[in-house]
Amino acid sequence: MSVSGTTQAPQHKFAPLKNDRLLRALRFEPVDTTPVWMMRQAGRYLPEYKATRAEAGDFMSLCRDTARATEVTLQPLRRYDLDAAILFSDILTIPDAMGLGLYFETGEGPKFKYTVRRQSDLEQLPTLDVNDSLDYVMRAVTSIRKELNGQVPLFGFSGSPWTLATYMVEGGSSKDYRYTKEMLYNKPEFLHQLLEKLTVAVTDYLDAQIVAGAQVVQIFDSWGGALGHRQFIEFSHAYNQRIVSALKLRHPTVPVVLFTKGGGLWLDVQAESDADALGLDWTMPLDRARKILTERQRQLTKQHKKIQRSKAIQGNLDPATLYGSPETIRAEVKSMLDSAYALGDKTGYVANLGHGITQWVNPEHAKVFIDAVHEYAL
């Protein structure tokens, strides 16, 4: 894989980190309590977010406004005792920067004005200079990191090449991935060309976020679970693996989390990547995940004749749990943490939802979830 390589010496001085609980857990170091954050924790379930978005005018204007993107990133940290912040942005910024015209229809999710289904569409896609076309993201990362003042670590993120490709080919979200899967089985070489291009862009994009101040990054393979087993390895995992390897080569101490929704079936495959942690949705029991990863660690250690570190895990409460009563939420959190620690190891785990928090959740129920995680005795 050829990448343009955006790495440069960090240009900013940031305050020392006061709460490194999440980073310690990812390194399998002792923690005083379980670290927790939520995917989409800055978003539509918070009234203060809705107010800020209304001021910005629309979603992408909010993303491009450094001050407001910083504000909405920090809003959940004022409400909750979270162990990480995550950059407020969208997984589709890369295809938007490639000129596909990202827009949002009320109640319908993201859409693109243009799709990539023909060779001529592919040839028109530019090779991104992420520090130019996506400079607003890097400005937001640096601004957020400064405003955090060392309170908690900051996540950067990107969509995976496969997930980005599905949006670019379908023109939006999809239930059956008709055009993308037709391409996969009918014109696989075309799809590989698109994935190659996206792999370069995602690598450089996450690299630039780290240089701008992100202390940990996550790859969202949101639609990886829609693939068959062999197709997941060829069209999703292989590209994710290359991105993670490139990032770890450039930034060896920066943790990388790989989250594949519906990816529990492929934990043994993903364990071969250089990712520090694997995110899980609610369909995979955490104790089973630990067993699979521990066994795979043993196999890889024997195969390579060198000790291979196991992967930390993250997740996996069903987001719909937060519709339940506080008592139900606390009971489900306890069950989740009991499962996470069933094998006896009291670190190497980050609590989270199994996917993003939904817009209909009562903000007070999110607080119950977060507090219940911290109150659980290790």
Active site residues: 40, 44, 53, 90, 167
Rounded Cα distance, 235 and 255, in Å: 24
Q: Pick the closest to residue 159 from 229, 227, 218, 81 (CA basis).
A: 218
Reduced to 3 states (helix: H, G, I; strand: E, B; else coil), residue 1 is coil
Q: For 221-350, where are the alpha helices, taking DSSP H only?
A: 229-232, 238-250, 267-270, 286-304, 326-340
Q: Which residues of 160-192 are buried (b: 16+ CB within 10 A; e: fewer)?
A: bbbbbbbbbbbbbebeebebbbebbeeeeebbb
Rounded Cα distance, 142 and 11, in Å: 10
Size of the chain in residues:
378
Residue 286, token pair as written in the block: 């955490």
Binding residues: 40-44, 90, 167, 222, 355
Q: What is the DSSP letter of 282?
A: T
Rounded Cα distance, 356 and 350, in Å: 15
232, amino acid identity = F
Long-range contacts of range 292-298, CB-CB < 8 Å, 24 or more positions apart?
292/267, 292/268, 293/267, 293/268, 294/343, 296/267, 296/268, 296/271, 296/272, 297/271
Q: Which residues of 96-114 are buried (b: 16+ CB within 10 A; e: fewer)?
A: bbbebebeeeeeeebbbee
Binding residues for substrate: 40-44, 90, 167, 222, 355
Q: What residue has token string 């391409």?
A: 183
**Contact in structure between 60 and 72 (CB atoms under 8 Å):** no
Those residues whose C-beta lies under 8 Å from the C-beta of residue 282, and which sit 6 or more positions away, are 315, 316, 317, 318, 354, 355
Q: Is the dihedral of CA 108, 113, 117, 123 positive or negative?
A: negative
